[in-house]
Amino acid sequence: MLTSDYFDAISARIRKVRRREGENIRHIAEICAHAIEVGGVVHIHDTGHMLNSELIHRAGGLAGLTPFTFGMNVHNPNAFRESHPDAPNATAETVALALKKSNVRPGDVMFIGSVSGKSEQVVELAIQAREMGVTTVAITSLAYSKELESQHPSGKKLYEVTELVLDNHAPYGDAMLTVEGMDVPICPASGIAAACIMWAVCAGIVEYLLANGIQPTVFKSVNAPGGPEDVKARGERYKEKGY
């Protein structure tokens, strides 16, 4: 049955992630914990595969995990100009402005999630964040990304420009199951794998902070009795202490 095949496939991926990435996850968790100790922040930028919604303001999650998203919407339609495009590429300027307007600072850590790692925006973000003194961590599929062509002017992909890389071990194309009668595979691996990686990183952060005498702020469920008040109090604790 395909349902059983899916569970077998995703379980195998998670075991592979644990086996291949476990040491790296522990190392990166220690880097994050040290950054938090000295007033740094851990930022999450994801291109849409779960991480922002999975990690932020979750029961059992670290209050200090901070989403980093940006965009620029310009409404200026003109049929003639759109059929004869000559506008310069503004990706680098947009990323620079986003970082300038953000709460990202030197000494912080930024996780950048992109399965393919080829888009101009994620590569540019990694380059500029690293240049400003942020520790950059890619969450990507090396098997997939290495087969693709970068859209960045440098020709580089995400895993080639970040300081550290966590491989989610998704296959080429992301989907895991080949099904008779379907012209494409089904059931992607990257979302679940990336979520497991990041929760393991979070567990490591808690472990390292506690070992150094720091109890990080972790949210309880907002849906439990007294939950909203408790979550608010914990948010205030993080606001005061920074961890």
Domains of the chain as residue ranges with CATH: 2-241 (3.40.50.10490)
pLDDT confidence of residue 235: 97
Cβ distance 193 to 168 under 8 Å? Answer: yes
Cβ distance 169 to 189 under 8 Å? Answer: yes
Chain Cα centroid distance, residue 226: 31
Cα–Cα distance, 214 to 206 (Å, whole number): 9
| Tens digit of each residue's pLDDT, the chain (243 residues) | 999 999 999 999 999 999 999 999 999 999 999 999 999 999 999 986 778 889 999 999 999 999 999 988 889 999 998 888 777 788 999 999 999 999 999 999 999 999 999 999 999 999 999 999 999 999 999 999 999 999 999 999 999 999 999 999 999 999 999 999 999 999 999 999 999 999 999 999 999 999 999 999 999 999 999 999 999 999 999 999 999
Give this prediction's pTM: 0.94
pLDDT confidence of residue 51: 82
Cβ distance 126 to 145 under 8 Å? Answer: no
Query: At residue 135, what are phi and psi to the nearest 5 degrees?
Result: -75, 120
pLDDT confidence of residue 72: 86
